[in-house]
Amino acid sequence: MTASRMPEAPEAARTPEAPEALPHGRLPRTVWSQALRDNRRALAGWTAGTALAGAMYASFYPQIGGSMGDLTRSFPEGLRQAFHMEDLSSAAGYLGSTPFGLVVPLLALFHGAAAGARAVAGDEESGYLDLLLAHPVGRVRLVLQRYAALATGSAAVAGGVLLMMLAVRGPADLGGIPVTAFAAQCLNLALFGAFFGALALCIGCFVGRRGTVFGATAAVGVLSYAANALGPLVGLGWTRRFSAFHYYIGGDPLRNGFQWAHAGVLAAVCAVLVLLGAWAFRRRDIGV
Amino acid sequence: MDKAIQLERLAKTYGRRRGLVDLTLDVGRGEVFGFLGPNGAGKSTTIRLLLDLIRPSGGRAVVLGLDPRRDAVELHRRTGYLAGDFTVDGRQTVRECLAFLAALRGGVPERRVTALAERLGLELAPRIRSLSKGNRQKLGLVQAFMHEPELLVLDEPTSGLDPLVQQVFLDLVREARAEGRTVFMSSHVMSEVQAVADRVAIIREGRLVTVDTVSSLRERAVRTVELHFDGPAPAGEFEGLPGVTDVVAEGPRLRCRIAGSPDALVKAAARHTVTGLLCEEPDLEELFFAYYRNGGGDDRVTDA
Ligand SMILES: Nc1ncnc2c1ncn2[C@@H]1O[C@H](COP(=O)(O)OP(=O)(O)OP(=O)(O)O)[C@@H](O)[C@H]1O
Ligand SMILES: [Mg+2]
């Protein structure tokens, strides 16, 4: 995390009283940097937890990979596809199943949903936004900077996972997966978390109730998982297209490297959600 | 522009609930304006409308010559705000919080911040989560005053403050006025407003009850008068005099309440030998409650 070294805020540079002005030194000065700073402990926890969960699964590969591969070969094709278990004996196939197919993205999803619910709705309910919005910070700017902090956090979580994977790559016999493939998967992971963050932020910009926002976002997460994994099982292959999970792992980045189209879709949807949220937030009453 | 705040039939409904009904009010530049009312009267609603935190359902507000909605950022730059339930992120330290808020305003001289904190007795090092309610309120005051804004909008600024700090606060308000800045403050407590305000508005159930200067409110206030006679008090002669109510006689002593001119009372008393006269300085608190009870200004006297 880079929360403690912040770029100069443009307004600080304009200040005539800069030499004796608060804050000095390395204190953060923008809504973005302050949000990162306030959340630094939580973010460190999410990053470490997600990376460790990934590492734990990865380290089982040498023992489990081969035998699970034999076992699941007898499962029906559809089931194996649904749970990304087509090819558990290869490193990419194993990692694409439970670790990167379920556990790690689920953690990223909840990180995004929790951070997104807090970014607007949570601080609105607590009354903190009253204070910030009575300062010369436009509502749109607040939403954008808060989202930038959230996206930075999501990138930190994915970055932590990537570093951890590169660290265990050798010991866990994962050398068959190129570094760029890990990077591709983790890029998608960052965007995947950022998507659920954007969704939560957007809902929060409309309703401003943290519990509602978190619940709704988590529900969309579960439905997305179902649409991607289970839809095709019951002959509804088209449902995948509406699932964030599909854009996250459908292109199998661990095998095929960067999937720019899928990453682009996730990024574009994030942008749309955030702008939609900012638009709604500008129009409504705060804290009623 | 000699008006700091101009409200024209400003109204707010929350769904079907009443918030504020057709409030028309002017506050001049450099004025200290008290905004009084009981719980749920609509004080916070008005204040949050001024700052564009909520939007009116009718009427309009012009603050420092600006439209709160269109020119929100400019208005906020020139305004200091203390919310009724001042909340900050408890994970920050006091210093960090003030530094952040100062940065949002493009920087504030550190000297001024530390001087304010010192006057109010606020420590800068502790984490906000660990502060008592009063100390949190001090932080709220520091952030509202630290950039020396043209307009201070303070929602129940003294809640939670001990009497000594309340005095410091009143000094800060007086200094702000001396520097030509405008202060709009809400309160339930008449006495603190009485001490600094030039004018006072009283609202109740979302409606303006009265606006007046503190001194003329005082003139209209109900006073308690005590007269001592050399014989038994002639209570009968005082009952029914214009403006006189609650006549109680106890031996040679007569107590009553008088609203408006004491002329009739004095003339009635002059027919007897008066050995003592006590007139209590009217407390606006009393007036305030009189307004609450009767729900109106001028019919108060006849109702009572
Ligand atoms: N978010 C809201 N939703 C619904 N009604 C509200 C809301 N906020 C305020 N009200 C209603 O508007 C009225 C005025 O409330 P307001 O908070 O402005 O009162 P107040 O004068 O600040 O009271 P207090 O002295 O208790 O702070 C109240 O009747 C209240 O119930
Ligand atoms: Mg209030």
pLDDT band at A203 (very low <50, low <70, confident <90, very high): very high
**Number of structural domains found in chain B:** 2
Extract the residue ranges of chain B whose pLDDT is less than 70. 1, 281-304
At residue A188, does pLDDT exceed 60?
yes
Ligand 1: distance of its center to the CA of B206 in Å?
9
Instruction: Please say whether the beta carbons of B208 and B201 come within 8 A.
Output: yes
Segments forming the whole domain that contains residue B263: 222-281
Residue B10 lies in a domain: yes
Residues B155 and B276 in one domain: no
Measured between CA atoms, the residue of chain B closest to residue A282 is B69
- A-B contacts at Cβ under 8 angstroms: 114
- pLDDT tens string B188-245: 877 778 889 999 998 988 999 889 888 877 777 777 889 999 988 888 888 888 888 8
Q: Are residues B212 and B238 in the same domain?
A: no
Overall average pLDDT of the A38-66 stretch: 89
Q: What is the pLDDT of residues A231-277, one digit of tens each?
A: 777 777 777 888 999 999 988 999 999 999 999 999 999 999 999 99
- The pLDDT score that the predictor gives to residue A86 is 62
Q: Do B100 and A27 touch (CB under 8 A)?
A: yes
Which ligand 1 atom sits closest to the C-alpha of B41? 21
Q: Does A45 touch chain B (CB under 8 A)?
A: no
Residue A68 lies in a domain: no
Count of the separate structural domains present in chain A: 1
Q: Which residues on chain A are in Cβ contact (under 8 Å) with B100?
A: 23, 27-29, 34
Per-residue pLDDT at A121 exceeds 90: yes
pLDDT tens-digit profile of A124-159? 999 999 999 999 999 999 999 999 999 999 999 999
CATH number at residue B262: 3.30.70
Nearest CA owner, ligand 1 atom 25: B39
Protein residues whose CB sits closer than 6 Å to any atom of ligand 1: A 288; B 14, 17, 19, 37, 39-45, 84, 188
Please write down the HEC assignment for all residues of chain B.
CCEEEEEEEEEEEECCEEEEEEEEEEEECCCEEEEECCCCCCHHHHHHHHCCCCCCCEEEEEECCECCCCCHHHHHHCEEEECCCCCCCCCCEHHHHHHHHHHHCCCEEHHHHHHHHHHHCCCCCCEHHHCCHHHHHHHHHHHHHCCCCCEEEEECCCCCCCHHHHHHHHHHHHHHHHCCCEEEEEECCHHHHHHHCCEEEEEECCEEEEEEEHHHHHHHCEEEEEEEECCCCCHHHHCCCCCEEEEEEECCEEEEEEECCCHHHHHHHHCCCEEEEEECCCCHHHHHHHHHHHCCCCCHHHHC
Given a cut of 70, whether residue A21 has pLDDT beyond it is: no
Asked if residue B137 belongs to a domain, the reply is: no
Its ipTM equals 0.84
The answer to the question of residue B85 being in a domain is: no
Name which residue sits closest to atom 27 of ligand 1, judged by CA: B39
Is A27 at the interface with chain B, CB within 8 A? Answer: yes
Would you call A17 an interface residue with chain B, using a CB distance cutoff of 8 Å?
Answer: yes
Residues B170 and B66 in one domain: yes
